[in-house]
Amino acid sequence: MKGITTLLFDIDGTILDTREFILQATEHALTTLNYPVPKRSVISKLVGIPFLKYYFKLSGSEKDAEKLMNTHREFQRFNFHLAKLFPNTCKTLHKLKKKGYRLGAITSRSKITSKQTLKDAGVFDLFDIILSAEDTKDLKPHPEPLLKALRYMKEAPERAVMIGDSHLDIETGKNAGTKTIRATYGFHKDNLHNPEPDFFIDDISDLLKLLQN
C-alpha cells in the first residue's frame, strides 16, 4: 500500500471490543423503558448505525428513541470498564505511530463515551484526531466524518485508508475516496464482501505487514 500516510479507524469492533459495553447498555435501556429485549444476535447487527435510528429499529418508537439513547449513554458513563482493547491493538498502534503514520478515529458513538473508553484503554493520545457523533452533521456512511478528519490533518483521501469491521465503514471509505480495509474480527462477520473492501485483516497487527507491501 504505497503512498498511504493516514489511517482512519472505526472504534467499536475495530480498536475496542465494546460488545458487552454496547449490548449491556442496550439491554438496560430497553428494560428500563419497558421494551422487549431482542436476542443479542439481532442487536449486534444494528451496531454502528446512527443512534436514534438504532433505537427506533429496536423499539419501533420514534418518540422514545431519544430517551432510550440517553438511558443507554447514562449506563455507559458508569461502565467504561466493559470496553476492552482487542489483542495486539496497543502494540500495533504504537508501532504504526513510530513508523510515521497519522492516526484518526471515526465513530458514531458519543464524544464523552468514545474519548473516555480510549483514554481508559491507554491509546487516546496516539490519535491525531477523534471524531464522534456530535462533530459532524452527517454520520457514516456519509463521507463527511472522514473528509473532516482529513481536512484537519491536511491529507488527501487517496493517501488515507479507512479501517473498520462493518459495511458502513467500507461504504464510508469508498464514498470519501480512501482505500478500505475490513477487520474480520469485530462485530460484523456477515457479508464481508458487501461492499468489497480493498483488503481484509484478521488481526489488527496484520496492518503492519499489509502497509509494507
Average pLDDT, stretch 44-69? 93
166-212 tens-digit pLDDT: 999 999 999 999 999 999 999 888 788 889 999 999 999 999 999 99
Whether the pLDDT of residue 7 is over 90: the answer is yes
Whether 67 and 39 map to the same domain: the answer is yes
Partners of residue 179 on adjacent β-strands: 161
- What is the percent of the chain with per-residue pLDDT over 70, rounded to a whole number? 100
Average pLDDT, stretch 143-162? 98
CATH number for 89: 3.40.50.1000
Whether the pLDDT of residue 44 is over 80: the answer is yes
| pLDDT at residue number 97 | 98
Q: Say if 91 falls within a structural domain.
A: yes
Task: Give the chain's mean pLDDT.
Answer: 96
pTM beyond 0.85: the answer is yes
* Domain final residue, candidates 81, 106, 124: 81
Domain count, the chain: 2
Rounded distance, CA 6 to CA 160, Å?
Answer: 5
Whether 71 and 89 map to the same domain: the answer is no
Domain with 152, as residue range(s), is: 6-17+84-212
Average pLDDT, stretch 75-89? 97
Q: pLDDT higher for 187 or 148?
A: 148
Whether 205 and 103 map to the same domain: the answer is yes
* Domain final residue, candidates 81, 104, 125: 81
